[in-house]
Amino acid sequence: MIPTSFPAKEEIARLTAGMLIEIGAIDFNAKEPFTHASGKQAPTYVDCRKLISFPRIRATLMDFLSVTIMREAGFEAFDNIAGGETAGIPFSAMVAERLALPMTYVRKKPKGYGRNARIEGVMTEGQRVLLVEDLTTDGGSKLSFVDAIRDTGATCNATAVIFYYGIFEGVEKTLGDHGVQLISLCTWWDVLAEAKARNAFDAETLETVEAYLRDPAGWKPA
């Protein structure tokens, strides 16, 4: 059940950023940058999977995500909540529980045997489906999940994530052109602001992170 009183969007973003920092889901390293799935290096890393191990924070963020979905998409906008394999599965289950809706999940690719399905659970033609994931970077992986949902005859015009990078150009346009609204709780800019407020990292590291966030395509390790 969702409480009826919630902070404003800006406060939700600040609190979410603080919780991610508190549990060590945020890592900044200016001297030994991380290599992301794209192959590019960055002084930033976020691991939203850690949230599942912290019940109080997990529950609070799922409340935040559920109320943000209702505020931005509508209180009766969806018939089914789908999680993207694998990180989106636990969060979609918790959001579905709060919104009292069926839950399904979408495989990255057909499993290769049996029904060779990409959709697990019951998703029917005409259902309005919300895709839930842990985060989005450039939005690319969301389009594959959305297309798999639409192949069932259901509709999918929104995706909700805990964390949105918010530093790459054209992400919301790419999703919008595909008919998908992006709903999120916080971005790297929210995390940087909260990290500064908490003195969570040394000044040199924060300066390096800010330089990366301002120009992720052009940033290179010192």
Above 90 in pLDDT, residue 168?
A: yes
Work out the average pLDDT over 189-209: 97
Q: Which residue has the higher pLDDT, 168 or 38?
A: 168
What rounded mean pLDDT belongs to the chain? Answer: 93
Distance CA 137, CA 37 (A): 11
Closest listed residue to residue 161, CA positions, set 143, 178, 182, 147: 182
For residue 140, name the pLDDT band (cuts at 50, 70, 90). confident
Confidence (pLDDT) at 39: 80
Asked whether residue 165 is domain-assigned, the answer is yes
Asked whether residue 185 is domain-assigned, the answer is yes
Asked whether residue 4 is domain-assigned, the answer is no
Distance CA 6, CA 186 (A): 16
Confidence (pLDDT) at 94: 97
For residue 109, name the pLDDT band (cuts at 50, 70, 90). confident
Asked whether residue 197 is domain-assigned, the answer is yes
Confidence (pLDDT) at 34: 93
Closest listed residue to residue 127, CA positions, set 171, 98, 96: 96
Half-sphere exposure of 220 (CA within 13 A, CB side): 2
User: pLDDT per residue over 24-45, tens digit each?
Assistant: 999 999 889 998 877 889 999 9
Above 80 in pLDDT, residue 170?
A: yes
For residue 4, name the pLDDT band (cuts at 50, 70, 90). low
Asked whether residue 144 is domain-assigned, the answer is yes
User: pLDDT per residue over 68-80, tens digit each?
Assistant: 999 999 999 999 9
- Return the minimum-mean-pLDDT range out of 28-37, 48-57, 62-71, 82-91: 28-37
Asked whether residue 222 is domain-assigned, the answer is no
- How many folded domains does the chain comprise? 1
Q: Which residues contact 46 (CB under 8 A, 6 or more apart)?
A: 20, 25, 26, 27, 135, 163, 191
Work out the average pLDDT over 150-161: 97
Q: Give the CATH number of the domain where residue 67 resides.
A: 3.40.50.2020
Asked whether residue 55 is domain-assigned, the answer is yes
Asked whether residue 1 is domain-assigned, the answer is no
Cβ 55 vs Cβ 61: under 8 Å = no
Confidence (pLDDT) at 116: 65
Task: Measure Cα distances from 176 to 139, 151, 164 in Å.
Answer: 10, 19, 15
Domain boundaries, position 110? 9-214
pTM of the model: 0.94
